[in-house]
Chain A
Amino acid sequence: MMRQGQLPQSLERVDKFLAGKPRDAQGRFLKGLILTEMNRPSEAIQVFAKLSEDYPELPEPYNNLAVLYASQGQYEKARTALESSIRTHPSYATAHENLGDIYAKLASQAYDKALQLDSSNTGAKTKLAMIGEMIGGGTSAARATSRPDPVKPAEAALGKTADAGKAGVVASAPKSDSGPKTAEPAVKAGGEQRAESEELVKTVRAWANAWAKKDVQGYLGYYAQDFKTPKGEARDEWEKARKQRINAPKKIEVGIESPKVSISGDNAASVSFRQNYRSDVIKTSGTKTLVMVKANGKWLIREERVN
């Protein structure tokens, strides 16, 4: 399995392989999967998009492209990709299921527009199933390069053909594995990402809570060592000012509304939300983005942006 720790190595291997055979479908498909696993969706999108352009007859790259688009909330693009996937392979069950989910999501967006509902906060992004293996295996690629077994090149790329059982990525690629099983890592990664999202939102709420309780020490504890102060002032100056501001009102309420998490790496993320602040002195409401960084297993605020 492609465990987190082995991903960079796997990527290195597949890149090396692709350097020699840049058009190889299996190798590129694998690279797309690895990038997805590594939480680098825009690069993964590039790989799958190019792959489906070069091999429009393969359904799997379209499907995975759609999954990535959907994870970014780009449902129309996801729909187009899935429809292409089904066109090339009408019986593709995963793509059908995914497409059903996308249609439901698009329908609900359309209804929100029809009834003028705010659709910006209608829940989590749709989670679709990634396909972890190409069954057709990029036949045209294989033909073009006169390689009858499409899986092999990828295995070869990883340099472990003889020792397939042990290697992380290689073990997941072989044809013997069934679709759903190979899809597992992606799903799991998705689950991890969701857990991380929840953790981030929890942190933001705790931060707001400390602020509302006028717990200055606790509040300041949510800021990273390298926090970028709003006007570039020195950290202790900023802390002093915050302390004053937080202590001044008798009562503070801080509401966090429709938080949206975007994770950009293992230790980097940002959370955007509507902040409803109310004290006995003033009442404000606006959107805010907290740029977060993970240090020693804890999410901290590196930057606070008011939009």
Chain B
Amino acid sequence: MDLRRGFSNLLLAGAFCLASSLIGLSSPPAQADQGTDNLLGKAFEEIENNRLDQALVHVEALLRAKPNFRLAYLIKGDLLLARGRALKTFGNPPQGPSERLDDLRAEAMARLQAYRQRPSQDQVPRYLMQMREDQRYAIVVDNKRSRLYLYQNENGRPRFVADYYISTGKRGGEKTREGDEKTPVGVYHVTASLPRKKLSDFYGSGAFPISYPNEWDKRHGRNGHGIWLHGTPSDTYSRAPRASNGCVVLANADLDALSEKLQIGLTPVIISEQVEWLSLDDWTAERDALNSEIERWRSDWEGLDTETYLTHYAKNFSADGENLSEWARHKRQVNSGKSWIKLKLSNFSMFRNPGKDELVVVTFDQDYRSSNLSNSMKKRQYWTKEGGKWRIVYEGAA
């Protein structure tokens, strides 16, 4: 049947877009059971196998469970129409606004891709280098694929739990300005929980603001605010892939499932244009390399070897309005007045910033004792690669 060809074309187009980003995603893991995507996926499979009647059974089951799922109505319409005549494309309403049809097609594409290419258990998002012991979960967002991945912290190693369809900014990712209708790309965390009763229906079952703009965003002059993870208005099950003003929007049931896992002020939310995946070996190697660099920085500082200590800082370092030479002068002066330093670092988290630049956000507890001063603080550093070596480009209190 031609409808089947329509879906195959859809798949082909999808595969084409994905070709560069797919580093071996395969086999659906058993524990991620999202009813909607499963039923939809089954319907797609039946269509591909030319069992349109069975496909309709799945779609109708889906509509009984989610009576406001617009995409499912579109597929239902096609399946019914296909009984009378051959269909050449996906989505054949005789009338209606073409943008809405395009939106539903895009949503179908996103959901279908996600169903086909589940994250493999052997690979992890490159960004989750090290989760803190008390960070139970981490969120990774793939803006292009309209997907949110939930990972659990299993002794520091991220283990895939679930993934969800999402809507993001109308104009894509890499937010820079207030009102640019883009979703930011970077390393953030959940900062608050806004309950449903404090929100209008537009935000659905709840909202979780995230920490945009972070230190790095501010340093680059990016502004805007109010980037949230939130739910969906009651008149629809889901929204188009590109629909929000920059927020990450989930179906209400999905947001509810997710909200149980979130720790306010703690759960990382890492938003990428396209997730990069690493094998566990590569992931371990990257983590170890940076860990040992951080340890060298610590021991050089503790050893009062100020000049070697300062080589860990990047040329374009800046923090609190100080550039590298100001920072160096300041550190030389402070260190020269000390006879000893004891430095203990603990509770590390390391999250790689998505994107072309080599950038890792490192956060830890620093217990600093010295001959004339002691303090404890939570510190954040941004590490970057300079001449092939990891260097600190920003440092400050977290």
CB distance from A95 to the nearest CB of B (A): 13
The answer to whether the Cβ of B15 comes within 8 Å of any Cβ in the partner chain is no
With beta carbons under 8 angstroms apart, the residue of A103, A106, A114 that contacts B70 is: A114
The answer to whether the Cβ of B361 comes within 8 Å of any Cβ in the partner chain is no
Separation of A113 and B66 alpha carbons in the complex (Å): 13
Residue in A closest to B236 when the chains form the complex, CB atoms: A116
Residues on B with beta carbons closer than 8 Å to the beta carbon of A144: none
Tell whether, in the assembled complex, residue A111 and residue B93 are in contact, meaning their CB atoms are under 8 Å apart. Answer: yes
Tell whether, in the assembled complex, residue B73 and residue A111 are in contact, meaning their CB atoms are under 8 Å apart. Answer: yes
The answer to whether the Cβ of A241 comes within 8 Å of any Cβ in the partner chain is no
List the one stretch of B95-103, B280-288, B382-390 in contact with chain A. Answer: B95-103
Residues on B with beta carbons closer than 8 Å to the beta carbon of A109: 77
Tell whether, in the assembled complex, residue B84 and residue A115 are in contact, meaning their CB atoms are under 8 Å apart. Answer: no
Instruction: Contacts A110-B73, A110-B76, A111-B74 given; indicate if A117 touches B96 (C-beta within 8 A).
Output: yes
Tell whether, in the assembled complex, residue B83 and residue A111 are in contact, meaning their CB atoms are under 8 Å apart. Answer: no
Tell whether, in the assembled complex, residue A116 and residue B81 are in contact, meaning their CB atoms are under 8 Å apart. Answer: no
The answer to whether the Cβ of A306 comes within 8 Å of any Cβ in the partner chain is no
CB distance from B242 to the nearest CB of A (A): 17
With beta carbons under 8 angstroms apart, the residue of B78, B96, B104 that contacts A107 is: B78
The answer to whether the Cβ of A145 comes within 8 Å of any Cβ in the partner chain is no
CB distance from A123 to the nearest CB of B (A): 11
Fill in one digit per residue for B57-70: 1 if any A CB lies within 8 Å of its CB, else 0.
00000000000001
Tell whether, in the assembled complex, residue A111 and residue B100 are in contact, meaning their CB atoms are under 8 Å apart. Answer: no
With beta carbons under 8 angstroms apart, the residue of A107, A112, A113 that contacts B80 is: A107
Residues of chain B in range 102-134 having any CB-CB distance to chain A below 8 Å: 104
Tell whether, in the assembled complex, residue B83 and residue A103 are in contact, meaning their CB atoms are under 8 Å apart. Answer: yes
CB distance from A59 to the nearest CB of B (A): 18
Residues on A with beta carbons closer than 8 Å to the beta carbon of B97: 115
Separation of A208 and B94 alpha carbons in the complex (Å): 33
Q: Looking at chain B's contact residues, is the secondary structure mostly helix, strand, loop, or mixed?
A: helix
The answer to whether the Cβ of B71 comes within 8 Å of any Cβ in the partner chain is yes
CB distance from B58 to the nearest CB of A (A): 14
CB distance from A64 to the nearest CB of B (A): 21
Separation of A262 and B95 alpha carbons in the complex (Å): 27
Q: Which of A100, A109, A110, A116 has the most CB of B within 10 A?
A: A110
The answer to whether the Cβ of A19 comes within 8 Å of any Cβ in the partner chain is no
Separation of A112 and B76 alpha carbons in the complex (Å): 11
Residues on A with beta carbons closer than 8 Å to the beta carbon of B76: 106-107, 110
Separation of A113 and B95 alpha carbons in the complex (Å): 12
Residues on B with beta carbons closer than 8 Å to the beta carbon of A104: 80-81, 84
Instruction: Contacts A115-B93, A115-B96, A115-B97 given; indicate if A110 touches B77 (C-beta within 8 A).
Output: yes
Separation of A112 and B97 alpha carbons in the complex (Å): 11
Residue in A closest to B70 when the chains form the complex, CB atoms: A114
Tell whether, in the assembled complex, residue A114 and residue B74 are in contact, meaning their CB atoms are under 8 Å apart. Answer: yes
CB distance from B104 to the nearest CB of A (A): 6
The answer to whether the Cβ of A108 comes within 8 Å of any Cβ in the partner chain is yes
Separation of A111 and B91 alpha carbons in the complex (Å): 8
CB distance from A25 to the nearest CB of B (A): 30
Instruction: Contacts A107-B78, A108-B94 given; indicate if A114 touches B83 (C-beta within 8 A).
Output: no
With beta carbons under 8 angstroms apart, the residue of B71, B81, B84, B94 that contacts A114 is: B71
Residues on A with beta carbons closer than 8 Å to the beta carbon of B104: 114-115
| 5 nearest A-B residue pairs (beta carbon) | A111-B93, A110-B77, A114-B74, A107-B80, A115-B96
13 contacts between A and B (CB under 8 A): A103-B84, A104-B80, A104-B84, A107-B76, A107-B77, A107-B92, A111-B74, A112-B96, A113-B70, A114-B93, A115-B100, A116-B100, A117-B96
Name B's A-contacting residues (CB within 8 A): 70-71, 73-74, 76-78, 80-81, 83-84, 91-97, 100-101, 104
